[in-house]
Amino acid sequence: MWKDLGMDLEKHDEFLAPVPEVYGKLFMAQENRPKGMGYFDFVVGDIHGIRVKELVDHKANGGKVVASFCVFVPDEIITAAGGVSIGLCAGAQFPVPTGEQVLPRNLCPLIKSSVGFKLDRICPYFQVADFVVGETTCDGKKKAWEILDEFIPTHVMELPQRRAEADKALWMEEIRRFKEKMEKESGVAITAQKLAASIKIANEKRAALQRLYNCRKADPAPISGKDVLLISELAFFDDPKRFTQQVNALCDELETRIVRGEGIAEKGAPRILITGSPMPIPSWKLHAIIEGSGAVVVCEETCTGTRYFETTVREDGATLDEQLAAISERALNINCACYTPNNGRIEDILRLVKEYNADGVVYYNLAFCQPYSIEYRKVEKALQEAGIPVIKIESDFSEEDTGQLQTRIEAFLEMLDK
């Protein structure tokens, strides 16, 4: 199977070699960890095994595998055409130097990592994918797709940057164009019935994640931020139905923990909300530092957090047109920094700080990620006015700055005076 996928096995093994140790230290060693994490540990432990095999089999049965990197890409349409949607990870330092062979160095590490994964041929999900769906959410991605297309066919959806009528019409057209693309690639006609079913699947997954996040509102938090981040990351490529079921099973356990007042951290431990750039698997650094310093991460206002599941697709569309319109609406309700203006994000952060009872906000900025770094000024001002402490952390996927970040985070926690 590996040969057929065209993998560079030597490099692949080199890339994965440190994972078990890191994973053991960060995740398995946590005290009083919920049992329901077992499934997710299994998925990570076998990250390049069973799920890849499922995809290979899916393709052998004539199905399509479609890769993407953003919460705006509509899974629903992929599923309705009998395809499998894979949100690829791009949170590792390992492939970054390779990415830099075709991309400028002063570019967001997420983009360099993702392109590097393809060039290095170390990601089986990338290798098994029929094509990639990119979006024009930032200039870096927009231009990188042109380069990625040299290595794997890349379909680009143009996301508008405002939310006026003309922008809505543009995105609606892009959704329609993507539906046609999917139908052509798969040879399957997307019907209202199929789309209704796939909308339901996606919404149920979102609902399960919302339920999981609701559990984190309790004090003591019944689950660590690291574990929830991991689950959010896995949400992008696990089988959606199985994943939903497992998240719900975990929530059953967490809800009884809450009743019993059981937690992963001590009651009264400082509660942190993270906001900013996405944290694709395996970028666990910031969570590890925060939780290693005695605080607990209770919410992520990121694409690997609330932005992924808080907005759902209306299920009342009867015709295909109404359903596509509902799907298109969803994207425009997500408060990503690629939009201008984007005041909704500030409202979201203020609301989430209240809902999750956060003591402070860590603003995470991937190096060279302009939309989030520029938006900081407004977010900082709003938080300061509301009397909520905030710190901006700019970093990438490397480990070089761990010591520095440790000092900053600790000093921030000391400042919270809990």
Q: How far apart are CA 332 and CA 164, in angstroms?
A: 10
Q: Is 275 in the site for ligand SF4 (CB under 6 A)?
A: no
Q: How far apart are CA 247 and CA 39, in angstroms?
A: 9
Among 68, 85, 127, 137, indicate the residue that binds ligand SF4 (CB under 6 A). 137
89 binds, among ligand SF4, other proteins, none (CB under 5 to 8 A by kind): ligand SF4
Q: Which is nearer to ligand SF4, 264 or 366 (CB)?
A: 366
Please list every residue from 166 through 205 that binds other proteins, using CB under 8 A: none
Among 140, 160, 305, 360, indicate the residue that binds ligand SF4 (CB under 6 A). 140
CB of 235 to ligand SF4, least distance (A): 12
Q: Which is nearer to ligand SF4, 70 or 195 (CB)?
A: 70
CB of 236 to ligand SF4, least distance (A): 8
CB of 250 to other proteins, least distance (A): 34
Among 43, 66, 80, 89, indicate the residue that binds ligand SF4 (CB under 6 A). 89
Please list every residue from 356 through 415 that binds other proteins, using CB under 8 A: 389, 394, 400-401, 403-404, 407-408, 410-411, 414-415
CB of 388 to other proteins, least distance (A): 12
Interior/surface letters 255-290, b for 16+ CB within 10 angstroms, e for the rest: eebbeeeebbbeeebbbbbbbbbbbbbbbbbbbbbb
Q: Is 331 in the site for ligand SF4 (CB under 6 A)?
A: no
CB of 390 to other proteins, least distance (A): 9
In the block, tokens 């001590």 appear at 266
Q: Which is nearer to other proteins, 229 or 390 (CB)?
A: 390
Q: What are 377's two structure tokens?
A: 């000024």
Total residues at the site for ligand SF4 (CB under 6 A)?
A: 22
Q: Which is nearer to other proteins, 7 or 96 (CB)?
A: 96
CB of 94 to other proteins, least distance (A): 20
